[in-house]
Chain A
Amino acid sequence: MSKSNNNILEVKNLCTSFFTDEGEVKAVDGVDFFIEKGKTVGIVGESGSGKSITSLSILRLIQEPAGKIVNGEIIFKGENLLEKSKKEMRAIRGNNISMIFQEPMTSLNPTMTCGEQIAESIRIHQKLSRKEAKEKAIEMLKLVGIPSPEKRVKQYPFELSGGMRQRVMIAIALACNPELLIADEPTTALDVTIQAQILDLIRKLQKELGTSLMIITHDLGVVAEMCETVAVMYCGKIVEYADVKTILTNPKHPYTIGLLNSVPRHDQHYEGDLPVIKGSVPSPFNLPKGCRFATRCPHARDICHNQLPELKTMDDGNQVRCWIHTDVWEKQEEEVASNS
């Protein structure tokens, strides 16, 4: 994980908050990561981890005034997106950076044909005529593997199956050949055989078009299949950031370990109960003062409850936010040993 200028996106200390009657919710609280050109980064976490808010923040799609990016930098190709005007942002959305969402059922406009919805993006960004845009829309439908695209282009979303709608979403997202594609739970709402088709399609198109990819998901299987690097989020913070093999075979953070163990797997036989992470995610209004996972962590000590650990870079370049992986932990161990 060498840092180089080959990064298409660098997110630095991103903080996004929501302001409610009950107080401020720090949905994303100091997140750092980067995406190398042509590579795939996965953001993993459960509900409330801030993974989707992170992705929406990148395109500045957080609904104000309820939500606001309060701090940080989002460097896309060397320029900070947070300093762009609204108009400049619009020129980037759907053109340089595109996004596909979880629910293909509700993410398409029900009163516009598929063709209109693809062509709209093309017309905004490439200033093509209506006719040219329509031809390009048909071409895009062909690219995403929709049979008889000339017919489909005139159909409304409700006339298509879930898998077909997600293909249309992908066609919209890729219509202007973006450099970065953000996929927020792209296959969560789909059946598993259709999920396999869609993941396959995304992979194939990424290879063909050289798009960089950011996948937000809760499914560790999808991560294993798609990503090169993974950031695991918990309560608004990245707790572990490493290459995919390390995350899945040799994770360091107790949360990552717990998460991996509690997934019931179809390709493994086991007896007895599933290992669980005890308790539940703390309320966003009342986050623990120290490590946010401390209330559920089997290893937690006083320091964990009182002091938030830093995201520490290990010898292999991977990063972990946990006291266990610091010198402090060993020192405490020695103290405990010498005291007894």
Chain B
Amino acid sequence: MSKQPLLEVKNLKQYFPIKGGVLGRTVNHVKAVDDISFEVYEGETVSIVGESGCGKSTTGRAILRLDEPTAGEVNFDGEDLLSLNKSKMREKRKDLQIIFQDPYASLNPRQTVGQIIEEVLKIQNIGTSSKDRREKIISLLETVGIGAHQVDRYPHEFSGGQRQRIGIARALSVNPKLIICDEAVSALDVSIQAQVLNLLKELQRKFQLTYLFISHDLGVVRHISDRIIVMYLGKVVEISDTQSLFENPQHPYTRALLSAIPSMNFEEEKRERIILTGDVPSPIDPPKGCRFHTRCPYKMERCAIEEPVLNSVSDGQRVACHLVEKGAVDYTKIPVNS
């Protein structure tokens, strides 16, 4: 890992306006992503986890400028993507690719697999002749485990897992540096999901890829990530290396999230489960202070007033919580509010 990050997100904000009233003016904003910062280094896999509405997918889209962010910086390879003009940005997209959850929706049903990939190659001016491109397409498809004889088939002739492989091949076709995987394996059956996860890992080794992996599935995330970002209601609450996050989670929300996952482990004694009450508050009018305080079992008075900042609790683990401002704590010794 080099010292210089490949991707550096600084104070990124994504507010979506809400229109209302008689004149249809902007009356409020959905603060989908509200001032977040993080880095991704070359060759690593960083995951963003959180529940629906936490802003994880919005973050991915904002980095690629699929939605124009409200404010902030996205430095990629030393350049601020948000300051590029349209044609420069299009060129840059060669280095940043995205794979979506629903491979079927992102593949044009009227194009064969070969045409789908060739289109991308043409846009990015890759390959000299159509024969040259065809060879490249076939080798790409073989890389992701799809046979050369299937190159002229249409997306509906493939299964869900194969379609996701096609999506991956399309992303790979332009030799990107960073691939954003937005719930890329969430729609797949377990046995197929494992195959695709292994493929992603293999491709990373082979092509020195960097992944920004967006997922709600903590099992998948533990398996694939080097580092993990936990988001809640548009904010980053914890950034940590994978092992520390799962073995010693420090933010109360991370702890609740982990403990809520039904465990398949029968050997282990049943853990004490933290069941959060209520729903996630609205991102239109998020709670003051710490956004998690309305559901937090360890809530203190200042949590409702003062917003905590990310604070290093150990090497490679940063947490935004007043409880841990003086370093990591042993949660078994802290009483839970009733």
Q: Do A and B interact directly, with beta carbons closer than 8 Å?
A: yes
- The answer to whether B264 touches A221, judged by C-beta atoms less than 8 angstroms apart, is yes
B23 to chain A, nearest CB (A): 25
Q: Interface readout for B75-86 with A: 1 if CB under 8 Å, 0 if not?
A: 000000000000
Is B194 in contact with chain A by the CB < 8 A criterion?
Answer: yes
Contact residues, B241-277 vs A (CB, 8 A): 243, 246-247, 256-268, 273, 275-277
- The answer to whether B260 touches A193, judged by C-beta atoms less than 8 angstroms apart, is yes
- The answer to whether A280 touches B159, judged by C-beta atoms less than 8 angstroms apart, is yes
- The answer to whether B198 touches A274, judged by C-beta atoms less than 8 angstroms apart, is yes
User: Which residues of A line the B interface, CB within 8 A?
Assistant: 46-47, 161-164, 191-197, 199-200, 218-225, 245, 248-249, 258-260, 262-270, 273-278, 280-281
- Chain A residues near B243: list those with CB within 8 A: 269
A183 to B140: give the CA distance in the assembly, Å.
Answer: 43
Would A264 and B194 be within 8 Å (CB), given that A191-B52, A225-B263 are in contact? yes
B243 to chain A, nearest CB (A): 7
User: Which residues of B line the A interface, CB within 8 A?
Assistant: 51-52, 159, 161-162, 189-195, 197-198, 201-202, 216-224, 243, 246-247, 256-268, 273, 275-277, 279-280
A267 to B257: give the CA distance in the assembly, Å.
Answer: 12
- The answer to whether B194 touches A199, judged by C-beta atoms less than 8 angstroms apart, is no
A119 to B268: give the CA distance in the assembly, Å.
Answer: 44
- The answer to whether B194 touches A193, judged by C-beta atoms less than 8 angstroms apart, is no
- The answer to whether B266 touches A248, judged by C-beta atoms less than 8 angstroms apart, is yes
A107 to chain B, nearest CB (A): 18
- The answer to whether B275 touches A197, judged by C-beta atoms less than 8 angstroms apart, is yes
Would A218 and B223 be within 8 Å (CB), given that A245-B266, A275-B194 are in contact? no
- Chain B residues near A249: list those with CB within 8 A: 266-267
- The answer to whether A196 touches B260, judged by C-beta atoms less than 8 angstroms apart, is yes
What would be 13 A-B contacts, judged by CB atoms less than 8 Å apart? Answer: A46-B191, A192-B218, A192-B260, A221-B261, A249-B266, A264-B194, A264-B222, A265-B265, A268-B265, A269-B247, A274-B194, A280-B162, A281-B159
- The answer to whether B191 touches A276, judged by C-beta atoms less than 8 angstroms apart, is yes
The list of the 8 closest CB pairs from A to B, nearest first, reads A221-B262, A262-B194, A191-B51, A196-B260, A264-B223, A46-B189, A264-B219, A277-B191
B260 to chain A, nearest CB (A): 4
Contact among B201, B247, B262 with A224 in the assembled complex (CB-CB below 8 Å): B262
Q: How many A-B residue pairs have CB under 8 A?
A: 127
A218 to B264: give the CA distance in the assembly, Å.
Answer: 13
A269 to B197: give the CA distance in the assembly, Å.
Answer: 16
- Chain A residues near B221: list those with CB within 8 A: 266
- The answer to whether A194 touches B279, judged by C-beta atoms less than 8 angstroms apart, is yes
- The answer to whether B260 touches A265, judged by C-beta atoms less than 8 angstroms apart, is no
- The answer to whether A280 touches B197, judged by C-beta atoms less than 8 angstroms apart, is no
- Chain A residues near B263: list those with CB within 8 A: 221, 224-225, 267
- The answer to whether B190 touches A262, judged by C-beta atoms less than 8 angstroms apart, is yes
B328 to chain A, nearest CB (A): 19
- Chain A, residue nearest B270 (CB): A225
- Chain B residues near A245: list those with CB within 8 A: 266
Would A224 and B266 be within 8 Å (CB), given that A193-B51, A196-B275 are in contact? yes
- The answer to whether A280 touches B161, judged by C-beta atoms less than 8 angstroms apart, is yes
Would A273 and B51 be within 8 Å (CB), given that A192-B257, A259-B190, A266-B258 are in contact? no
Would A274 and B262 be within 8 Å (CB), given that A46-B190, A193-B256, A193-B276 are in contact? no
- The answer to whether B219 touches A263, judged by C-beta atoms less than 8 angstroms apart, is yes
14 further contact pairs, Cβ within 8 A, besides A191-B51, A224-B263? A46-B190, A191-B280, A193-B256, A194-B51, A220-B264, A248-B264, A248-B266, A263-B219, A265-B219, A265-B264, A266-B218, A274-B197, A276-B191, A277-B191
- Chain B residues near A197: list those with CB within 8 A: 275-277
- Chain B residues near A281: list those with CB within 8 A: 159, 189
Contact among B191, B222, B224, B266 with A262 in the assembled complex (CB-CB below 8 Å): B191
Would A263 and B190 be within 8 Å (CB), given that A274-B198, A276-B195 are in contact? yes
A189 to B231: give the CA distance in the assembly, Å.
Answer: 19
- The answer to whether A199 touches B262, judged by C-beta atoms less than 8 angstroms apart, is yes
A330 to B266: give the CA distance in the assembly, Å.
Answer: 31
- Chain B residues near A223: list those with CB within 8 A: 264
B54 to chain A, nearest CB (A): 9
- The answer to whether A274 touches B223, judged by C-beta atoms less than 8 angstroms apart, is yes
- The answer to whether B264 touches A260, judged by C-beta atoms less than 8 angstroms apart, is yes
- Chain A residues near B190: list those with CB within 8 A: 46, 218, 259, 262-263
- Chain A, residue nearest B162 (CB): A280
- Chain A, residue nearest B267 (CB): A249
B194 to chain A, nearest CB (A): 4
- Chain A residues near B159: list those with CB within 8 A: 280-281
- Chain A, residue nearest B197 (CB): A274
B219 to chain A, nearest CB (A): 4
A73 to B166: give the CA distance in the assembly, Å.
Answer: 44
A275 to chain B, nearest CB (A): 7
- The answer to whether B266 touches A258, judged by C-beta atoms less than 8 angstroms apart, is no
A26 to B238: give the CA distance in the assembly, Å.
Answer: 49
A197 to B256: give the CA distance in the assembly, Å.
Answer: 12
